[in-house]
Amino acid sequence: MMTEIQNISFDVPDLIEVYGFGSYFRSANANDCDILLVVRNNSSDLGRLHFDLSQCFYQLGEKLSVRFDLTILTEQENARKPLLEHDILVPLYTKK
Amino acid sequence: MSNNNGQNNWGVPWCRIEWFEKKINTHPNVISVSRHDDIVFDIKRSKDQDVTLLCLDEYTLGVAAVYRILSEFPNVNFIYIGGQWNRYTPEAKEMCLEHRMGLYNISELTGALWRNEFWGYHKIDDDGNPKYQFRRS
């Protein structure tokens, strides 16, 4: 799964960080996979970016038989740490 | 005439839609509800202006989602994000206020539907200040 997520990140320039959280990363019997996607503040079309990322992860979910539950935040929003799990996020990808 | 119900590309499961539909039909200020595009509810209220509500299930809704909603559902004026564990960011709330669009979770839904200008509804804290459903870790 890591490779596929990295491939999505390479293909989407405005996606800069990917984290996992929730039961999928703590146990073997999770129903879905919670993913936090952090996107650039100045992305030219945030709505389109949200749609495209949702489609990418839907297709990946179909391929891997995993239901992805996405949270998509801008850098500014993510800086406020609006998730309960912020301190235990699992880094999956960071754009260098 | 097709109402396009049966699937949506926001990942909202049927159990959430069904639960919400039952809930909204019990609100005393609601006189009729019709659903289309699986997750859009046209709500007629007894005294106040009609509402076109998008039923979501979002753990944390941000501005990217609001932009997408404005593009995909230009007639929607009320975003419902689901249960009380679901929240929105301050940026998303500000954007919705600018567009006179409601943005609420279940803890705010009933109160908002009693207001004609539903987008401006908020709870208040002990000091009388607006209390929004933001979350911090």
ipTM of the modeled complex? 0.94
Which residues of chain B make contact with A31, given a CB cutoff of 8 A? none
- Cα–Cα dist A12/B9, whole Å: 20
Q: Is there a contact between A76 and B134 if contact means CB atoms under 8 Å apart?
A: no
3-state secondary structure A29-55: CCCEEEEEEEECCCCCCHHHHHHHHHH
pLDDT exceeds 70 at position B123 = yes
Question: Long-range contacts for B1-10 (Cβ within 8 Å, ≥24 apart)?
Answer: B3/B34, B3/B35, B3/B36, B3/B37, B4/B36, B4/B37, B4/B38, B5/B35, B5/B36, B5/B37, B5/B38, B6/B38, B7/B38, B8/B37, B8/B38, B8/B39, B9/A54, B9/A55, B9/A58, B10/A54, B10/B39, B10/B56, B10/B57
Task: Specify the pTM.
Answer: 0.95
Phi, psi (degrees; rounded to nearest 5) at B104: -145, 155
Q: What percent of chain B stands above pLDDT 70?
A: 98
pLDDT tens, A13-30? 999 999 999 999 988 778
Which residue of A48, A77, A86 is in closest CB contact with B62? Answer: A77
Interface of A with B in 1-60 (CB under 8 A): 34, 39, 43, 45-51, 54-55, 58
pLDDT band with cut points at 50, 70 and 90 for residue B128? very high
Which residue of A67, A73, A81 is in closest CB contact with B62? Answer: A73
Question: What was the pLDDT predicted at A30?
Answer: 82
Which residues of chain A make contact with B65, given a CB cutoff of 8 A? 50, 72
In one-letter notation, the amino acid at residue B12 is V
State whether residue A62 sits within 8 Å of chain B by CB: no
Q: From the CA of A83, how many Å to the nearest CA of chain B?
A: 5
- Tell me the residue range of the domain where A45 lies: 2-94
CATH number for A54: 3.30.460
Domain total in chain A: 1
Question: What was the pLDDT predicted at A29?
Answer: 79
pLDDT band with cut points at 50, 70 and 90 for residue B1? low
What is the b/e burial string over B37-59, where b = at least 16 CB atoms within 10 angstroms of the residue's CB? ebbbbebebeebeebbbbbbbbb
Q: Is there a contact between B11 and A69 if contact means CB atoms under 8 Å apart?
A: yes
In one-letter notation, the amino acid at residue B99 is H
Which residues of chain B make contact with A24, given a CB cutoff of 8 A? none
